[in-house]
Amino acid sequence: MERIRKTAKILRAAHPETQADLGFRHYTLSAASQDTLDKLDAFDPTRDADMFVKDNWLAKFGKETVLATWLVRDHYGFAKPEVLDFAGYPAYFIQHHLYLLDEGLSEEAMEALLVRYETDGRFNPENLVLFGYSFTFDERASLAINVRRLKDTGKSLAVHIDVRY
- Each residue of 16-63: pLDDT tens digit? 998 888 887 777 777 777 887 777 677 665 665 555 555 677 787 789
DSSP state of 93: E
19 inside domain: no
The parent domain of residue 125 ranges over: 42-164
8 inside domain: no
| pLDDT computed for residue 156 by the predictor | 60
| pLDDT computed for residue 30 by the predictor | 73
| pLDDT computed for residue 43 by the predictor | 65
Low-confidence ranges of the chain (pLDDT < 70): 40, 43-55, 152-156
Neighbours of 155 (CB within 10 A): 12
87 inside domain: yes
32 inside domain: no
106 inside domain: yes
| pLDDT computed for residue 57 by the predictor | 73
21 inside domain: no
| pLDDT computed for residue 35 by the predictor | 80
37 inside domain: no
Instruction: List, as one string, the DSSP characters of 4-68.
Output: HHHHHHHHHHH-TT-----S-------PPPHHHHHHHHT--TTT-TTHHHHTTHHHHH-HHHHHH
| pLDDT computed for residue 149 by the predictor | 80
Please tell me the distance from the alpha carbon of residue 105 to that of residue 134, in angstroms, as a whole number.
Answer: 9
The total domain count for the chain is 1
27 inside domain: no
| pLDDT computed for residue 39 by the predictor | 73
